[in-house]
Amino acid sequence: MKKWISILLLSFYLVSTTELYQLLKIPTLIEHFIEHSADNPEMTLISFLKMHYDHPVKDADYQTDQKLPFVVHSFPLILVFTIISDFKVEIKKEIPSDDHESIFSYDRLFYYKDVVNSIWQPPKS
């Protein structure tokens, strides 16, 4: 039972994170080939694949052509995790404070009210 569950979870993972989901579109490929072979009985599978993959054209069945496997690609989900062996987190109980330095506040350092008000004025006529 565990083997089947692991195979199922692995296949879900591979289908969702790789291009393997394109293989699920093979029935559409077969149906589309049958449609083309009904229109032209002399068409072989190789000529069908060349027509749709080697030299694709925008014709009447273009929407169906876009549903064929490996015609339209997507960007699957990619997750990358790196583990650094030397990563350490230190928590100190006391925060060092220096009374000698003054800490600039946001208002004093970055925001000058008079300058901003003088720049953003409506046009005067």
* Domain extents in the chain: 2-65
Amino acid at 42: E
**Percentage of the residues of the chain whose pLDDT score is greater than 90:** 30
Is pLDDT at 110 greater than 60 in this prediction? no
The answer to whether the CB of 27 falls within 8 A of the CB of 68 is no
Q: What is the pLDDT of residue 49?
A: 92
Residue 42: pLDDT band (50, 70, 90) is very high
pTM summary value = 0.53
- Torsion angles phi and psi, residue 67, rounded to 5: -90, 0
Q: What is the pLDDT of residue 5?
A: 94
Q: What is the pLDDT of residue 26?
A: 93
Q: What is the pLDDT of residue 7?
A: 94
